[in-house]
Amino acid sequence: MVKLIDNKISSVTPFSCSECWQNAQSIFKSLSKETLSRLEEVKICREYEKGDFIFEEASSAKGVYYIAKGKVKVSQLGVDGKYQILHLSKDGDVMGYRAVLSDDLFSCSAIAMEKSHICFIPKDIFMDLVASNSKLALNIIHLFSDELKKIESNLTKITQRPVKERVAQALISLKNKYGFLEDGKTINVLIKRQEIANMAGSTRETITRVLYHFQEIAIIKLEGKTIQIIDEKALFDLGNLLD
């Protein structure tokens, strides 16, 4: 596994991502063509393999990271030495902005869940953009508020909900974030049992038992690292969620 140290990685693959700035989920969607052209000139594009660290907890925040294409888990190291997944990211998401805005170290790590194309925007450029563009600043405020709300909700789930409920919620969260493959059933991400355990605040062994139980009652179907949702309504009910 290749790890990112001091924002450098051994293999760098430049590519064009001019169109992805306009992703409907992107905080950069409101920027002018002139500003986007400036970003194209200063951004650094890299390709990360599955398992690579994009940035590491407690490292210096030298800029922000934009996911042009890929899936990333944002995790924090617990007192037990295990990573707790705080949230998942995908195409159009930006990472590391909180540490940059507060001039702080990264409070978490970002790890590629599959081969991912990431754009790095230097700190000084990003700060200039925020200072000169009120719509961008407002988009960041909305993003921060939304992520804080999700983290607070996840904390409540992990500390107060039964494990079966937490696993169901984790599966629905994966489906909501990454969608289905063309079959309309298979969640569009390859995920390890340990990663689901990190999302649900449990152990891999417990999560494996719960997943097989869900399969036995025909709610999901397991095939390697892929998960099919057979009965989404039942999964929502198990997760105590509103459809």
Alpha-carbon distance of 204 to 195, in angstroms, equals: 8
State pLDDT tens for residues 138-151: 999 988 888 877 76
Domain 162-238 belongs to what topology? Arc Repressor Mutant, subunit A (1.10.10)
State pLDDT tens for residues 116-172: 999 999 999 999 999 999 989 999 998 888 887 776 666 666 656 889 999 999 999
Q: Report the pLDDT value the prediction gives residue 22, as an integer from 0 to 100.
A: 58
What CATH number belongs to 20-158? 2.60.120.10
Q: Where are the domains of the chain?
A: 20-158, 162-238
> Rounded mean pLDDT of 202-223?
95
State pLDDT tens for residues 31-61: 888 888 888 888 999 999 999 999 999 999 9
Q: Do domains 20-158 and 162-238 have the same CATH topology?
A: no
- Rounded to two decimals, what is the model's pTM? 0.79
